[in-house]
Amino acid sequence: MRREEVLKVGHRLLDHLAAGTLDLADAPMVADGSCFTDPERFAKERQLLFRRTPQVMGWAGEVAAPGDFVARDVAGVPVLVTRDPDGELRAFLNACSHRGMPVGVGCGSARRFTCGYHGWSYDNGGQLVGIPSRDQFAGCDVAGLGLRPLPVTISAGLIVVGLEPDVEVEGYLDELEEPLGGFHYDRYRTIEGVDPVDIRPRANWKLIVDVNVEGYHVPALHRDTIAGVVFNNGSIDTYGRHSRFCLPIIGFEQLADLPDDDWPERIPLVIVHTVFPSTVLIEHEQGGSMIRISPGERPNESVVQFIEATHKPIDAAQIEMSKFTFQASVDVVLAEDFPGAELCQKGYDGGSPTLVAGTGEALIRHWHEVWDAAVA
């Protein structure tokens, strides 16, 4: 966040801590629990919220220079984003025109992408530039066998792609330009040696998002881990369909005794932005985490990827610390959050009829109303 917003949110949270309060919704919500199990709704979500809606794929800093690229699955679709030699941002279906195998892996810098199946190669503008035993393909229109282009842009410092050629991506995150300003996403790059973690929880994708937008569960579900680290005196803000959720952590209360000019650049605070439909951004002292959540093959399955990045150069010791903190965060999720979501899913699969959110779970209400409207 920009400095003025840090101070504004910080004082708002100090007031909550002093009063023992938090931001609340106007009223509780009771909704239909079938939103986690209904196959017809699930099919609509996959089509309307993922195939027909722009998706966040990474940070702008990952493709800042000519030659940079990032290859990731996005809601089940393999996507390759590059900067060509002229600095043009491009995106493609990450599938060789010969037999469909991905040609790009991970992220970094490259002039060529070569398929590991038969060796066809493409430049970072998507053109087919190499075919082993080319004489066997005489008569093929090589110019028409480049990688299939996809829509792509940088919006609010994030890489945004469309999974179908006619999805409009320009300006998709305009409402987040100001809230995400100051995080230096144009400089964020994944941390060397901190590999992304892919997990497939046996729970609906919305249950996985829900874990990240309320602190009401922390005292019970995280009783022996982070419950003693964070205060459930949070603030919430919405920006159109998107949201921000902030929770103070131990040490935050000491800011009450400091003049504003002495506050550090990044204060002891968990800052969680959730980008429609399901990307979660979590900021911390050395950088940030991106949690990319999408539906699996069935209503009770989801696909989750955790990615860690930093906005500044870090030395070997800081890399090791990043590895440790990233793994510790993932371990809590694997041991507590995801098993909790999976147990909830069992209840809904068994016929539990309702989803209830209290006033202290305001963003649960916000997100379910947003998703409901989008598939209505």
Residues 110 and 84 in one domain: yes
Q: How many whole angstroms separate alpha carbon 94 and alpha carbon 146?
A: 11
Residues 160 and 190 in one domain: no
Query: Of 137, 171, 205, which one is at a domain's C-terminal end?
Result: 171
Q: How many whole angstroms separate alpha carbon 36 and alpha carbon 88?
A: 41
Query: Of 171, 196, 229, which one is at a domain's C-terminal end?
Result: 171
Q: What distance lies between CA 359 and its chain's CA centroid?
A: 26
Residues 250 and 284 in one domain: yes
Residues 202 and 134 in one domain: no
Q: How confident is the model at residue 108 (pLDDT cuts 50, 70, 90)?
A: very high
Is residue 6 a contact partner of residue 263, using CB atoms and an 8 Å limit? yes
pLDDT for 322 equals: 85
Give buried/exposed letters for 145-173 (b at 16+ CB in 10 A, else e).
bbbeebbbbbbbbbbbbbbeeebebeebb
Nearest to 81 by CA among 56, 101, 52: 56
- Helix H or strand E encompassing 366: helix 362-375
Q: How many whole angstroms separate alpha carbon 312 and alpha carbon 285?
A: 11
Residues 105 and 28 in one domain: no
100 phi, psi to nearest 5 deg: 90, -5
Residues 212 and 288 in one domain: yes
Q: How confident is the model at residue 157 (pLDDT cuts 50, 70, 90)?
A: very high
Q: Is it the case that residue 169 has pLDDT exceeding 90? A: yes
Residues 166 and 22 in one domain: no
Q: What is the domain extent for residue 322? A: 3-53+176-375
Query: The domain that contains 113 carries what CATH number?
Result: 2.102.10.10
Q: What integer is the mean pLDDT of 325-341?
A: 93
Residues 113 and 152 in one domain: yes
- Helix H or strand E encompassing 317: helix 316-332
Query: The domain that contains 21 carries what CATH number?
Result: 3.90.380.10
pLDDT, tens digit, for every residue of 347-376? 999 999 999 999 999 999 999 999 999 999
Name 304's Cβ contacts closer than 8 Å, sequence gap at least 6. Answer: 198, 199, 200, 201, 208, 291, 292, 293, 294
Confidence (pTM): 0.95
Share of the chain above pLDDT 90, in %: 87
